[in-house]
Structure 1
Amino acid sequence: MSLPEQFNSYESYFDACTQFFEEYQNLYNFANTDVLVKGIIDDIRIDNFKDVDVFEHNFELRSEGENIKLFNDFFNKLDKLKVKYNNIEIDTEYKINAPLGPKKKHEIICLAKEIGTLCNNIGCDTVVDFGSGLGYLDQVIFDTTHYNVLGLECNERHYVGAKKRQNKYHIDSTSCVKFIRHRITEHSHVNLSEFLNDKFQNCNSFCITGLHACADLTVDAMNIFLKMENARAMILMPCCYHKMRIENLSDGKFSNFPLSKCLKEIYIKNRGFEYMKVPFLRLAAQPQLSSQSNIKDLVFNLLARAVLQIYACKYNYTIKRKKRKAVRVKTIHDNFESYAQDACTEGFLFVQENLEIDNLIESNFNNKSFDAKVAVEELNSIWNDLPPETFKKAATFILLQNQLQPIIENFILLDRIVYLKENGLLNTTCRKIVNANISPRCLALFAHK
């Protein structure tokens, strides 16, 4: 990662970014579920788009909006903050024989290749995988490099699954690939030394890695790397920035963001705590649009959930998901009546705010105040009353957020790079290592001593 040519210091770049984020916080500083309740998209003017179909595959917001001051100013400022990454070609040399989707296979192959190259250059003989899951990455690392691999995983089911897979499919790796159940914290350097001494007596130097190093795991791994002398290299692929620990619920400030002294000073000076909250970090982790082809689905998902929120606010309900994918939107084909039916009966729990959710069995049947049939009828009425302009505005809103996302993610990652440099690790950078059209989490932090 390098600074855009307009900037000659991290301070000037951070300062320009924070001012930009403050100016355009109306695009992100709220839950997306509130876009209708709070009238967020009402401020988006689409007068010049009256005769333009924003859902066409060749629609380009930048070119269509070049004569609209709001968009023109936005893009002019945004372009100055962009950091360019080289495109990644798909690597087809190595094949993974495992029940994984193309996205996961591509991520594993690309990361394993980068680990092999870095370890070979730095002279590492062992790789430690933080959050090893079912061990797919660890087996590929061993197959392609023959290094020792230690996989650390906190989930009991995944840890047991990795051991079973190894004994069934990779029995030849049992002496070199080891799995330990352990929850990583910033203090795990003590445990890690013990694990390495126990499992690999010949470990001289090692590389820390993590695929989908969620929330604070990337920062914890960085701090472990700084503390351990024989940790010589590190490659981490961060994700889920919005799940980072909040230090104080009253002010919403995070424990590990900002991280560098450089950004902390600018963050305080520019009152970043007012507009760099959970929605800011959530947008950083949001997948980018690879094309216009799925903009209709995204608009439907955004507005359908926003309509639920209108209903919830009207009747003083809190909406809680019953499962990770509350509504299987791919199976309802953008049919709101089906969405509302599924949401009210299967996907969400509607609880009046004066009730204790923990005292309810997670079923709307036990919430006597909620009538799913009545709710579905009213939700359909709200949906049908949405004017056509709302759908255009929602599409424009999504496209603007899509432009903002890489700037925010770069900003967060650069903060981590500067933190490592402040702590003496000058050989630190960020690179794209997977094809963004296959996996939106395509960036990796690199460091070596």
Structure 2
Amino acid sequence: MAVPGRYDTVEKYLEEVFDFLKTYQWVFSSPNTYVLVNKVFDQFPSEWLPFLSDLSNDELNELSVGVVSVHAPPSLQSFFQKINKLRFTLPKKISCEDFKFPNNSGLSNKKQHEIQSLAPLIHETCGRSDCDFIVDVGTGLGYLPRLLYDKYKYRVLGIEGCPQKFNLAKTKQKKYSDSDAAINYVEHFVTNESEHHIRQITKAFPMKHACITGLHACADLSVIILELFTKLEFCKSLVIMPCCYHRLKQTEDGFENFPVSNLLKELTTKSGVLRFLKTPFLRLACQGFVGGFGNMTPEEHLARTNSCLFRAVLEDVAQSG
């Protein structure tokens, strides 16, 4: 795990992260619709609200990206200083394939960009691990396999658990007879018990080594893919794009598949952070890019505020009734 250079060890970094989260848990421990029910505004430091209420739109936008006025309360400045100390961004340039999807593909611009960005990363990873075969978990309608074949000539096995999507992927594949022998689809819902099934399926395909990949490996599926990767010896590389962290299966003590590493398990147990790192916290990882808040107009801020507070009022009324 990479950490900011100012920290000597991963343990020290995570300990400070957990200390920060414990101190400011009131920021994220409630769903947005419960801000009135749980009296979240009452938990703000008393000196924050007057300052925040007087910010101009430009000042609010700057604050959303971490630019704090020197006139801000010291406790608010300290809050952002701690965030900046813990922040770490990997300086990696993301390449993107120039690939034209059919006009009637139905793909959003966002999904097209994700596929075009993931494909070259898969290709780069396969080159380092001598992989000539790809197992695409949750293949959907098969857009990623199509790009991987057209651009790089990989043979791909697409695994899809939804019968409708599987059938559509098969139907679309019939339009591309050039790749009949290279792209294959199977209907299978991947679980922790899928090791034997995947072994049986892949026996039909000659390969040097395989790469397991997954675009939008939702919630627990990411952990499942990681576990399968450790069991399938013919798989020499792994490229996944996790998503929907807030849908992880919960237990009385936290989450069924989090944390995964022994180090994180030890530190979360020691700090007790799993008592308040619940679904609302995980939803933060599914929010839009922070830069999107930094350019909002007054009208956009008002619309977003009203949308949140109207739902919060309805929840407050429902809970009090």
Both structures adopt the same fold (TM-score exceeding 0.5): yes
Q: Per the alignment, do residues 20 and 115 of structure 1 end up closer, same or farther by CA in structure 2, a change over 3 Å counting?
A: same
Q: 1:224 aligns with which of 207, 223, 228?
A: 228
What is the CA–CA distance in structure 1 between the aligned matches of 2:92 and 2:61, rounded to whole Å? 22
Q: Per the alignment, do residues 203 and 14 of structure 1 end up closer, same or farther by CA in structure 2, a change over 3 Å counting?
A: same
Map Cα deviations across residues 252-302 of structure 1 (whole Å, 9 max, x no partner).
421111111111111111112211112222222222332332444432321
Q: 1:68 aligns with which of 60, 70, 73?
A: 73
Q: CA RMSD in A?
A: 2.0
**Counterpart code for 1:290:** G
Match of 1:48 in 2: 51
Residues 24-173 of structure 1 mapped to structure 2, 5 A cutoff = 24-44=24-44, 45-54=48-57, 58-61=61-64, 62-66=66-70, 67-86=72-91, 88=93, 91=96, 93-97=98-102, 98-168=105-175, 170-173=176-179
- For the residue of structure 2 that corresponds to 1:233, the secondary structure is strand
- For the residue of structure 1 that corresponds to 2:101, the secondary structure is coil
Q: Per the alignment, do residues 184 and 21 of structure 1 end up closer, same or farther by CA in structure 2, a change over 3 Å counting?
A: same
What is the CA–CA distance in structure 2 between the aligned matches of 1:58 and 1:308, rounded to whole Å? 28
What is the CA–CA distance in structure 2 between the aligned matches of 1:177 and 1:10, rounded to whole Å? 41
**Counterpart code for 1:52:** L
Instruction: Identify which range, 144-153 or 282-291, moves more after superposition.
Output: 282-291
Q: Per the alignment, do residues 25 and 113 of structure 1 end up closer, same or farther by CA in structure 2, a change over 3 Å counting?
A: same
- Contact 2:99–2:147, Cα closer than 8 Å, also in 1: no
- Contact 1:53–1:59, Cα closer than 8 Å, also in 2: no
- Would you say how many aligned residue pairs link Structure 1 and Structure 2? 309
Q: Per the alignment, do residues 311 and 288 of structure 1 end up closer, same or farther by CA in structure 2, a change over 3 Å counting?
A: same
Match of 2:286 in 1: 285
Map Cα deviations across residues 113-165 of structure 1 (whole Å, 9 max, x no partner).
11112112221010111111111111111111111101111111111111111
What is the CA–CA distance in structure 1 between the aligned matches of 2:148 and 2:76, rounded to whole Å? 46
Match of 1:213 in 2: 217
State the TM-score, normalizing by the size of structure 2.
0.90
- Contact 1:196–1:203, Cα closer than 8 Å, also in 2: no
Match of 1:193 in 2: 199
- For the residue of structure 2 that corresponds to 1:60, the secondary structure is helix
Cα deviation, residue 176, structure 1:
0.9
- For the residue of structure 1 that corresponds to 2:134, the secondary structure is strand
What is the CA–CA distance in structure 1 between the aligned matches of 2:62 and 2:12, rounded to whole Å? 34
Match of 1:313 in 2: 319
Provide structure 2 residue ranges, at least 5 long, that are not aligned to the other structure: none
Q: Per the alignment, do residues 118 and 64 of structure 1 end up closer, same or farther by CA in structure 2, a change over 3 Å counting?
A: closer
Provide structure 1 residue ranges, at least 5 long, that are not aligned to the other structure: 316-449
- For the residue of structure 2 that corresponds to 1:238, the secondary structure is strand
Cα deviation, residue 110, structure 1:
0.9
What is the CA–CA distance in structure 2 between the aligned matches of 1:177 and 1:93, rounded to whole Å? 21
Cα deviation, residue 89, structure 1:
6.0
State the TM-score, normalizing by the size of structure 1.
0.65
Q: Per the alignment, do residues 99 and 58 of structure 1 end up closer, same or farther by CA in structure 2, a change over 3 Å counting?
A: same
Match of 1:275 in 2: 276
Q: Per the alignment, do residues 5 and 115 of structure 1 end up closer, same or farther by CA in structure 2, a change over 3 Å counting?
A: same
What is the CA–CA distance in structure 1 between the aligned matches of 2:63 and 2:93, rounded to whole Å? 24
Map Cα deviations across residues 1-44 of structure 1 (whole Å, 9 max, x no partner).
62111212121111111111101100111221100122212343
- For the residue of structure 1 that corresponds to 2:236, the secondary structure is strand
